[in-house]
Structure 1
Amino acid sequence: MAKVAKRIAAAREGLDRNKLYSVAEAVSVIKARATAKFDETVEVAVNLGVDPRHADQMVRGVCLLPNGTGRTVRVAVFARGPKAEEAEKAGADVVGAEDLVEQIMGGNINFDKVIATPDMMPLVGRLGKVLGPRGMMPNPKVGTVTMDVTKAVNDSKGGAVEFRVEKAGIVHAGVGKASFSEEALVENINALLDALAKAKPSGAKGTFMKRAALSSTMGPGVKLDVSHISVSASA
């Protein structure tokens, strides 16, 4: 425990907890303090001025990070016939129908993302209680219920990140790894912020992006300059 406390203290040394950093400054600070023995994930947390209990204030979408997530994503596709063949050719790790339902119901979930063609949704609907809590339920709003199976598989493996506002009005999303270059992380963060800005719901009033922070898995959080974000994200 003492070693952990010492590492945290070292990471916080020289860090101004009250300063609002630009995206580029924050990335530099976070990378310098990501000293764990594994490649830490860099995450953005944004507090939005919405109340997701109201349907017209829900924020949900998907962002294709230009430099990927740094994760190897395993994709499962519910499809039959030619679309199943298309999914296999696109590089899906698991493809099936009733057999895939049985696999999942049996607790064998060896994938990270689920895609389905529209005609398969009545079948996939049986898995709501299993896939829903894991955030894996296919949804047309984020492009995971689609006839364009090839694009969906490629996007999922290439860096597509889903975001959805939580009850407290906060959106969390991973934007890469600490091993990424500063330029790559900045590009990814700006892409996510741009996607969030474009996802502003009609019911949102007043300031949309209220607060934001950047952190790595084991490192301290750094506050981002929200006013700067709002301008650059909407540009």
Structure 2
Amino acid sequence: MAFERQKLAEAVKEAKARAKPRNFTQTVEVAVNLKDVDLKKPENRFKLEVMLPHGRGKEVKIAVIADGAVAEAAKKLGLDVISGEKLEELSSNSREARKLARKYDFFIAAAPLMPKIGRYLGRFLGPRNKMPVVVPPTMTNLEPIVNKLKKTVRIQLKNNPVIHAPIGMEDMDDDKLAENMEAVITAILNKLERGENQVKSVYVKTTMGPAVKVER
């Protein structure tokens, strides 16, 4: 591992110490800067879902786009449901569709509605890396998927050689944030052809605080 857990924890601690107090709990974010990656080649771009060992430290907003059994399963878990009929309404209301894409962290969708989701919401969800997790229309237990998503962050390498990811909230323990950061970095290294040799630098910061470099 290119970065020791202790070094990660030290950087987290410094980033939190250097952040000015705000009237809200800030997110702690990691930025992994890469080198020697040709992003003109599609095979070098990637999307990842990373499970954070200690979760995101905040409520994760999940919406379910479905009718029938999947919609009923979602309601039992207290999740917001977007019906097929509501989806149709979004076809003529770009403002509402954009607002919906911003509101939720994740979407779960019944498979039969995916063509309409692609048509009406795809241009809003795709750029935000929020395309739905697809489930069968007969699924009656969404709890395992929901529990997994609550601890998941989605990251992607697309046009620029840097990957940003939230690793928790500033009121979380330094060591737990360090473990979450380690999970993100490890997942990225596993996708790189030459692993840590393609990592230029790693920084950690709070939402509005200064970036602190992680020492190797």
Asked if residue 47 in structure 1 is aligned to residue 33 in structure 2, the reply is: yes
Matched with 1:125 is 118
How far apart, in 1, do the equivalents of 2:75 and 2:105 lie? 16
In structure 2, runs of 5+ residues without a counterpart are: 1-5
How far apart, in 2, do the equivalents of 1:25 and 1:34 lie? 14
Matched with 1:27 is 12
Shift in Å, 1:101: 4.3
Q: 1:162 is paired with a residue of what secondary structure?
A: strand
Matched with 2:131 is 137
What is the number of equivalent residue pairs in this alignment? 198
Relative contact order higher in (CA < 8 Å, ≥ 6 apart)? 2
181-190 vs 47-56, which moves further: 47-56
Shift in Å, 1:118: 2.8
AA in 2 matched with 1:54: K
Pick the structure with more strand per residue: 2
AA in 2 matched with 1:178: E
Aligned CA distance change for structure 1 residues 145 and 191 (closer, same or farther; 3 Å): same
Match of 2:54 among 60, 67, 75: 67
2:87/2:117 contact within 8 Å kept: no
Q: 1:207 is paired with a residue of what secondary structure?
A: helix
206-215 vs 102-111, which moves further: 102-111
Aligned CA distance change for structure 1 residues 87 and 33 (closer, same or farther; 3 Å): same
Asked if residue 112 in structure 1 is aligned to residue 105 in structure 2, the reply is: yes
TM-score (norm 2): 0.79
AA in 1 matched with 2:76: K
Q: 2:69 is paired with a residue of what secondary structure?
A: helix
Residue identity (%): 36
Match of 1:208 among 171, 193, 198: 198
Shift in Å, 1:175: 0.6
81-90 vs 170-179, which moves further: 81-90
AA in 1 matched with 2:46: V
Matched with 2:167 is 175
Q: 2:134 is paired with a residue of what secondary structure?
A: coil
1:52/1:59 contact within 8 Å kept: no
AA in 2 matched with 1:196: I
Shift in Å, 1:189: 0.8
1:87/1:95 contact within 8 Å kept: no
How far apart, in 1, do the equivalents of 2:32 and 2:109 lie? 30
AA in 1 matched with 2:75: E
AA in 2 matched with 1:29: E
How far apart, in 2, do the equivalents of 1:81 and 1:181 lie? 42
Matched with 1:222 is 212
In structure 1, runs of 5+ residues without a counterpart are: 1-20, 139-143, 229-235
